Amino acid sequence: LSSLSLSPSLPLPLSRREKLPGDATVMANFNGLYKIEPRVFRLWTQMLSALPSTVLWLVSAGGSSDDNIRAEAGNLSSRLVLAQPRDFADHIRRAAAADLFLDSFTYNAHTTAVDAIWGGVPVVTLPGEKVNSRLAAGVLAALGPGSETLVRTEEEYVALASRLLSQPRVRARVRAWLALGGR
Single pTM value for the model: 0.86
pLDDT of residue 10: 46
172 Cβ contact list (under 8 Å, min separation 6): none
pLDDT of residue 139: 77
Nearest partner of 107 among 85, 69, 82, 135, judged by Cα: 135
Alpha-carbon distance of 123 to 134, in angstroms, equals 13
Average pLDDT, the chain: 85
- Tell me: the pLDDT tens digits for 16-53? 567 888 889 999 999 889 899 999 999 999 999 999 99
Alpha-carbon distance of 29 to 59, in angstroms, equals 7
Residue 140 contacts residue 69 (beta carbons within 8 Å): no
Alpha-carbon distance of 37 to 8, in angstroms, equals 29
pLDDT of residue 182: 66
**Between residues 69 and 131, which one has the greater pLDDT?**
69
Residue 27, beta-bridge partner list: 56, 100
- Tell me: the pLDDT tens digits for 56-79? 999 999 999 999 999 999 999 999
Residue 9 has pLDDT above 60, yes or no: no
